[in-house]
Amino acid sequence: MTAPGPARVPILMYHEIAPPTQTHSRLAVSPENFAAQLGYLRGAGFTTLTAAELSARLTTRGRPLPDRPIVLTFDDGYADFHSRAMPVLAQHGFTATLFVTTGWEQDADMRRSAPGRMLNRSQLAEVAASGIELGAHTRSHPQLDQLPELLVRDELCGSKRWLEDEIGWAVPGLAYPFGYSSALVRRVARDVGYRYAHAVDNRTTGADADLFRQPRLTIRRATTLPEFRRLADGEATLRLREDRALTRAWSVVRQVKAACC
Ligand SMILES: [Zn+2]
């Protein structure tokens, strides 16, 4: 075991687990690639933590990190998490965190605007019962940094409350849609009771990171296994450096835009 502090922890961000014949999304990872990626993590001796466990361990209150810690996160709440991701996670004894856009869930009011087939309430209950952490990803997946405070509160409170009512225990985690946040959004997130929040930013995290701006590494359809290994092993790749530069440039544009609205 290593003490918290110097360790760098990769937090991976997945979306759909689906073949190209079923979705055009460039963020969808094929089932074969997903299986190979998790097989690599198992063989290389990684230990998965939920996002909530990591955020607790990155503070002085937390227990030490394992030798090769990694966090697997899945955004939006696609139904294929239940049918394709969960069995592979279970096969390797891995845990994960699923960030759910609660308005898109199959039985919810905004399901028609969902980007694909989403989880239903009984599947969500099964996911939670299996030990996988459920986190919030807002109600309607807006660009939070462009909303007035009242609507930010509505999105962050509404999704948290909905999930807590469904699963019966506290939901400490949030992932910002598109990774977009602002000082106001982060303040509201703290105010309404979240303990941590995830952005994107394509870098590893550590004890020095802001718990309300945890960076994540994007896994996409085009991510090759050698590239995946470098991400998990904490090595920046050319694509990552390009992503990070774009994220920063776009962040400046968004701050100016938000200030004008
Ligand atoms: Zn999303």
Could you give the 3-state DSSP secondary structure of residue 104? helix
Q: What is the pLDDT of residue 259?
A: 41
Task: Tell me the CA–centroid distance for residue 43 and ligand 1, in Å.
Answer: 30
**How far does the centroid of ligand 1 lie from the alpha carbon of residue 138, in Å?**
9
For the stretch 82-110, pLDDT in tens is 999 999 999 999 999 999 999 998 877 77
Q: Give the number of other CB atoms < 10 A from CB of residue 82.
A: 19
**Cross-strand partners of 196:** 173
Distance 118 CA to ligand 1 centre (A): 12
Distance CA 108, CA 110 (A): 6
The one-letter amino acid code at 234 reads G
At residue 69 the predicted structure's pLDDT band, cuts being 50, 70 and 90, is very high
- Using the mean position of ligand 1's atoms as its centre, give its distance from the Cα of residue 230 in Å: 24
Ligand 1 mean position, distance from CA 137 (Å):
7
CA of 2 to the centre of ligand 1 (A): 33
What H or E segment, with its residue span, contains residue 47? strand 47-49
CA of 101 to the centre of ligand 1 (A): 7
